[in-house]
Structure 1
Amino acid sequence: MAATKHAQALKQDSQDYLATALLQLLATNDLADLTVTQVVKRAGVSRMAFYRNFTTLADVLTAHFEPILTTRFDDVLAHIPQEQKLVNLTTFFTELTPTLRLAVERGFEPVIQQIFDTNMVRFYAATMTWNGATESQQKYWTQFMTAGIYRIWREWLLTGQQESLTTIHDLIATFQTATMAALQAESRESEY
């Protein structure tokens, strides 16, 4: 049992070292220009340690950012007061802005967006009442909203968060409500 815990600790250390090294290299290099060799050298681990844990450099970033983003989505899904959710989101967005800027500048934004998309699908699965929408309508509505919401958050974060978080939150809620009402109206019309 102790050997297993030790092996798990070593694996986690290798993953942490690789993520730290990759993020350090991304401060001055585009993801497309980096190699596994550069990252393992910077991390002080072997190529074998890299390939035991990951297939690509994007996998390192996914392993690093997925728990961070998922935790914030869990906060939103948790039944906590709205004011606390807004405080948590404000903190999150303050911390996320430099990362998103770096992701855009250094070519790893698709990693962030994929994690966001996965969590939005999970969010809608847990929170939506579909009221007669077909599976196809549910799937495409979720994809439409996920892409739109990502673009709203992206624009808001990258342009200096000039509107309040409450304004952005209300705007997204308005879009969700309006598009869902249109979808439900379409479903009712197709029944006749």
Structure 2
Amino acid sequence: MIERKNQYQAFHEFIVTATMQCLDTRTISELSVTEICERAGVSRMAFYRHFKSKEQVVLEYFTPIYGDFLISLSELTEINSQIFAEQLVDFFASQGAEIRKATQSGYYLLIFQVFTEKLAEFYDKTTTWEDYVSTKR
């Protein structure tokens, strides 16, 4: 059972890695699932056991990156708007190559989606919302 679980995880990682490598030279719309599978060394059936689409692969790649960053911010003992802004600038500076790649390969809206979802989670954890009506929130 453990071996099967390890194999499943390995295939999952192969697909993610292959997708991101293929996006070095192709746009997401040009990239086919077949190309990803060939690069990853897995079948199309294996791809679809793990993911619904190539866009889902990209979302899964960026979710822990943005999630971990915002978790680290929420764990700071002291945070104010200046510290928050400085941390954001530093983080996005470190992500510059990935953001350029996302823009050139046509999946920047996917990473924007991940970031906004993770940012909403961050604010839910770090903000008291009793005084805010839904539209202000």
Does 1 or 2 have the higher relative contact order (CA < 8 Å, sep 6+)? Answer: 2
Match of 1:45 among 24, 42, 45: 42
Q: Deviations over 1:70-125 (max 9, x none)?
A: 0001001013455x9857973x4343110011001100111101110101111121
Letter of the 1:43 partner, please give it. A
1:177 equivalent in structure 2:
none
2:103 aligned with 1:104: yes
Give the TM-score of the pair, scaled to structure 2.
0.85
Q: Deviations over 1:130-173 (max 9, x none)?
A: 463212321xxxxxxxxxxxxxxxxxxxxxxxxxxxxxxxxxxx
2:3 equivalent in structure 1:
6
Q: How many residues align?
A: 133
2:57 equivalent in structure 1:
60
Unaligned runs of 5+ in 1: 139-192
| Structure 1 residues 93 and 60: CA distance shift in structure 2, 3 A | same
2:134 aligned with 1:122: no
Letter of the 2:46 partner, please give it. A
Q: Which runs of 4+ in 1 moved over 4 A?
A: 84-89
What CA distance in whole angstroms lies between the structure 1 residues aligned with 2:10 and 2:94?
23
* C-alpha displacement of 1:7: 2.1
* C-alpha displacement of 1:128: 2.3
Q: Secondary structure at the match of 1:136?
A: coil
Moved more, 51-60 or 119-128: 119-128
| Structure 1 residues 110 and 87: CA distance shift in structure 2, 3 A | closer
1:17 equivalent in structure 2:
14
What CA distance in whole angstroms lies between the structure 2 residues aligned with 1:136 and 1:95?
33
Letter of the 2:133 partner, please give it. T
Does the aligned pair in 2 maintain the 1:72–1:89 contact within 8 Å? no
* C-alpha displacement of 1:54: 0.2
What CA distance in whole angstroms lies between the structure 2 residues aligned with 1:134 and 1:60?
35
What CA distance in whole angstroms lies between the structure 1 residues aligned with 2:61 and 2:136?
33
Aligned alpha-carbon RMSD (Å): 2.2
Does the aligned pair in 2 maintain the 1:15–1:60 contact within 8 Å? no
Residue identity (%): 29
Greater C-alpha Rg: 1
Q: Deviations over 1:8-49 (max 9, x none)?
A: 211221121111111111111110011100100111011111
2:28 equivalent in structure 1:
31
Q: Deviations over 1:162-190 (max 9, x none)?
A: xxxxxxxxxxxxxxxxxxxxxxxxxxxxx
What CA distance in whole angstroms lies between the structure 2 residues aligned with 1:131 and 1:69?
27
